[in-house]
Amino acid sequence: MRKYEDKTNKQKKSYHTDRFYKSPTLPKLDVCSNSLFAMDLSSLASIVDIKDAYIQAGHMIVYINHTDNKKAISHMRDTRAYDFLVELSAIDYIKDQDGFEIFYEMLSTTKKTRIRLKCFLNKNDTIQSVCHIFAMANWSEREMFDMYGIKVKNHPYMKRILMPDDWHDHPLLKTYPLTGDESASWYEVDQIFGKQNRDKIGEELRDTARVDRYDTNRFSRLGHEVPKGVDITNGEPDTPIRYQEDGGSLLVTKFDKKPSKILDKRK
Amino acid sequence: MQQPNRLKPFFENISFDREDNTMVVNFGPQHPSAHGQLRLILELQGEEVIKAVPDIGYLHRGMEKMGENMIYNEFLPTTDRMDYIAATSNNYGFALTVERLIGIEAPRRAQAIRTMLLELNRIISHLFWLATHALDVGAMSVFLYAFREREFAMDLMEDYCGARLTHSAVRIGGVPLDLPNNWIDDLQKFITTLTEQIEVYEGLLTKNRIWRMRLENVGIITKKMAKSWGVTGPSLRGSGVKWDLRKEIPYELYGELDFDVPVSTRCDSYGRYLCYMQEMRESMKILKQLVPIYEQSNSDLMAKSPKYISPTKEQMMTQNYSLMQHFVLVTQGMRPPVGEIYVATESPKGELGFYINSDGSPYPYKLKVRAPSFWHTGLLQDLLPGHQLADVVTIIGNLNIVFGEIDR
């Protein structure tokens, strides 16, 4: 039987997890426990709907609707002194919730506090660009599109940023394979020679860094050189190697160790 | 996709508004002063830049994807390859994030060593910046002098961890080794040398007419622009914003150290140069203060937390359960609590942040690296227009961008 592969999550998984192991959770504090955050939150609540809010690891995390992202960010910048949008990216929850979570990490240099605005975006929805509020979002949103395929509306230059233009798929999705997939390596073999000849032809070599130790046509074997193209599958002929230096080098005629200075200690 | 031909070469869908006789110049990706694989598509009117489009991604290795498929300890050496000029700052940023996630703190001696390494790395990075920047602008001798001192600093790094560039000198929970014998003496010798040599660099540059003409009023980043583009580090302080995470939101031992944050209100390349030079002096000041802290600390190097951190070698070799614990931590990896965390540290380039979203498994569910240079490069598209072509080189060099961390 063919081994079952989870197509919705091709990422690496732990080979063993204890059935009775329950992960602890980073404590979530109530927003009221910090007066600065409480004021920020009540101010934000007067502008947009708040779905959830708590403090975790010293950051206030606020869940909002994805349509309110521009309103919330410009409000936090203009009235709550959050003058930096530090980071912006998405988290892939397609398998469980059929969408992404997008987070906006903001920093206030006057209050020395950090908040994270989060919103949920369905897989096929688009989100409004915030790059007219914070120019840094220009590149972050391009990266987000490149890595997750999330389309951003009203972005001045929506184009891949790290991957090549003609790249297929988005690499940070959980469905993106970690190695080239198996069917692709047989595709050309099947097309040209037919499926029945798979045994004779063999898999297409798709890893260009792979070195076949018996391939004497394309790879030279350092220290064990044989003439090009010799078949060495049944042992290799002994090829003596002579170095120019054996019996005196052609270039160095006279080398006197005395005048050269050997340091006892590094300077 | 486009159909490129001889008359319409491949320009990756970049549309330039061509009203009059302007020229499109492809700067990089292989250009000595691009500081890595930066491609800039410049539209020139005479020698003046009218439009600039930075193009990155030539060094993209998928660090975040790798991080999501490695256990936490496995990913740490990979972080070296981001900002490879100051590798320890990356190692440390990641280690600190994981430490905060699992709720442990490194022992005091480890903290002292880490802070020393961080500051030494800052000096290495700043010397490298000074050397290459001066070389770009045309001051060859500064390059040679600064590289000499950088070599001494890298010797110190080599004496500590064996590596000169990719250190991996920090572990999650502490440091692997104590400082070798005489390291502190060598460090103090190095500080003495550098204190003298910084005077030499400044003597060559600060009042140099050519240097000032090339740097003054070139690459003006206003306060508003810097905040909007997420500019951090010396570039932000060069724009008159006194913001240094070491001072404002202290981590490690910075809270108890006495140092100043140099700020310049000039907003131009020259102001940033002044900040960088002063920052090296502050780093030396910090290093000097760390020596007594190191000497007074007891010899613990790794935090003790059997659930997450491997026991010491001695324990592992004598206690059966410690060996089992180590085996589980190496083969399966630690399982941090469920939750999300963002921790930022002040790397030599700016705010280096790691965002980790953990679902309780040994692999992070999401790992995002906030590399400061990424936005310093993005800023070029707003900063370059209006400058001369020769200033492009000055500005790129001055912003201290490193492609390992931009492309990740």
pLDDT tens over chain A, length 267 residues: 667 777 888 888 888 888 898 899 999 988 888 888 899 889 988 989 999 999 999 899 999 999 999 999 999 999 988 999 999 999 999 988 999 999 999 999 999 999 999 999 999 899 999 999 999 999 999 999 999 999 999 999 888 899 888 788 899 999 888 876 667 778 888 888 988 988 888 888 776 677 777 888 877 777 677 888 888 888 877 777 676 666 666 666 666 767 777 777 776
Is residue A101 located within the same domain as residue A184?
Answer: no
Nearest CB to B363 within list A12, A24, A85: A12
Per-residue pLDDT averaged across B31-53, rounded? 85
What residues of chain A, 185 to 214, have a C-beta less than 8 Å from chain B? none
The answer to whether residue B339 sits within a structural domain is yes
The minimal CB distance from B68 to the residues A11, A114, A160 is found for A11
Whether the pLDDT of residue B49 is over 60: the answer is yes
Question: Contact A25/B375, CB-based, under 8 Å?
Answer: no
Whether residues A234 and A199 share a domain: the answer is: no
Are A73 and A109 found together in one domain? yes
Q: Is B2 on the interface with A (CB under 8 A)?
A: no
Q: Is residue B214 part of a domain?
A: yes
pLDDT given for residue A8 in this prediction: 83
The total number of residues written for chain B in this structure: 408
The pTM of this model reads 0.84
Residue B344: inside a domain, yes or no?
Answer: yes
The CA–CA distances, whole Å, from A196 to A2, A189, B128 equal: 19, 10, 60
What is the structure's pLDDT at B77?
92
Instruction: Pick B339's closest partner by Cβ from A21, A57, A114.
Output: A57
Cα–Cα dist A16/A33, whole Å:
39
Q: How far apart are CA B281 and CA B208, in angstroms?
A: 21
Residues A108 and A181 reside in one and the same domain:
no
Q: Is-contact B59 B403, C-beta < 8 A? A: yes
Q: What is the pLDDT of residue B2?
A: 56
If one counts the domains in chain A, the total is 3
- Could you say which residues from 9 to 28 on chain B have a Cβ atom under 8 Å away from some Cβ of chain A? 12-13
pLDDT digits (tens, 9 = 90+) for B253-281: 998 999 999 999 988 999 999 999 999 99
Is B115 inside any structural domain? yes
Question: Do A107 and A220 belong to one domain?
Answer: no
A96, part of any domain:
yes
Residue A104 is assigned to a structural domain of this protein? yes
Of B60, B100, B379, the CB nearest to A162: B60
Based on the fold, state whether residues A203 and A140 are members of the same structural domain.
Answer: no
Identify the pLDDT of residue A251: 67
Query: Is A219 part of any domain?
Result: yes
Say if the Cβ atoms of A91 and B342 lie within 8 Å: no
**A198 lies in which domain range?**
177-207
Q: Residue B116: inside a domain, yes or no? A: yes
- Across the interface, do A57 and B374 touch by the CB < 8 Å criterion? no
CATH number assigned to the domain comprising residue B363: 1.10.645.10
pLDDT at B126 over 70: yes
Model confidence pLDDT, tens digit, residues B222-253: 999 999 999 999 999 999 899 999 988 999 89
pLDDT at A17: 84
- Taking CB atoms and an 8 Å limit, are A171 and B65 in contact across chains? yes
Q: Is residue A191 part of a domain?
A: yes
Q: In this predicted structure, what is the pLDDT of residue A237?
A: 75
Q: Does B236 touch chain A (CB under 8 A)?
A: no
What pLDDT, on the 0 to 100 scale, is given for residue B30?
79
Average pLDDT, chain B: 89
- Minimum Cα–Cα distance from B99: chain A residue: A57
> 327-366 in B: which are within 8 Å (CB) of A?
331-333, 335, 337-342, 344, 351, 353, 355, 357, 359-363, 365-366
Residues A228 and A187 in one domain: no
Q: Per-residue pLDDT tens for B344-385?
A: 999 999 999 999 999 989 999 999 999 999 999 999 999 999
Report the residue of A26, A159, A165 to disrupt the B interface, i.e. the one with the largest count of B CBs within 10 Å: A26
Cβ pair A161, A143 in contact under 8 A: yes
Which residue of chain B has the CA closest to A90?
B366
**Number of domains into which chain B is organized:** 1
Report the pLDDT averaged over residues B329-339: 91
Q: Are residues A128 and A193 both part of a single domain?
A: no
Residue A116 lies in a domain: yes
Judge whether B84 is closer than 8 Å to chain A, CB to CB.
Answer: no
Average pLDDT estimate for B391-405: 90
Instruction: Render the burial of B139-154: b for 16+ CB within 10 Å, e for the rest.
Output: beebbebbbebbebbb
Q: Is B307 on the interface with A (CB under 8 A)?
A: no
Residue B400 DSSP SS3 = coil
Query: Is A109 an 8 Å CB contact of chain B?
Result: yes
* One domain, residues A192 and A221: no
Q: Which of B379, B377, B391, B378 is nearest to B47 (CA)?
A: B391
A181 and A228 together in one domain: no
Element (H, E) at B355: strand B350-358
Q: Domain limits at B197? A: 63-305+331-370
Residue B316 falls inside a structural domain: no
Q: Does A164 touch chain B (CB under 8 A)?
A: yes
B255 touching A (Cβ < 8 Å): no
In-domain check, residue B203: yes
Determine contact: A57 vs chain B, CB below 8 A: yes
CB contact under 8 A, B338 and A23: yes
Same domain, A97 and A134: yes
- Residue A166 located in a structural domain: no
Q: What's the whole-number mean pLDDT along residues B398-407?
A: 90
Name every chain B residue with its beta carbon within 8 A of the beta carbon of A111.
Answer: none
Q: B360 near B337, Cβ under 8 Å?
A: yes
Residue B16, domain member (yes or no): no
Q: What is the per-residue DSSP string for B60-76?
A: ---HHHHHHTS-HHHHH
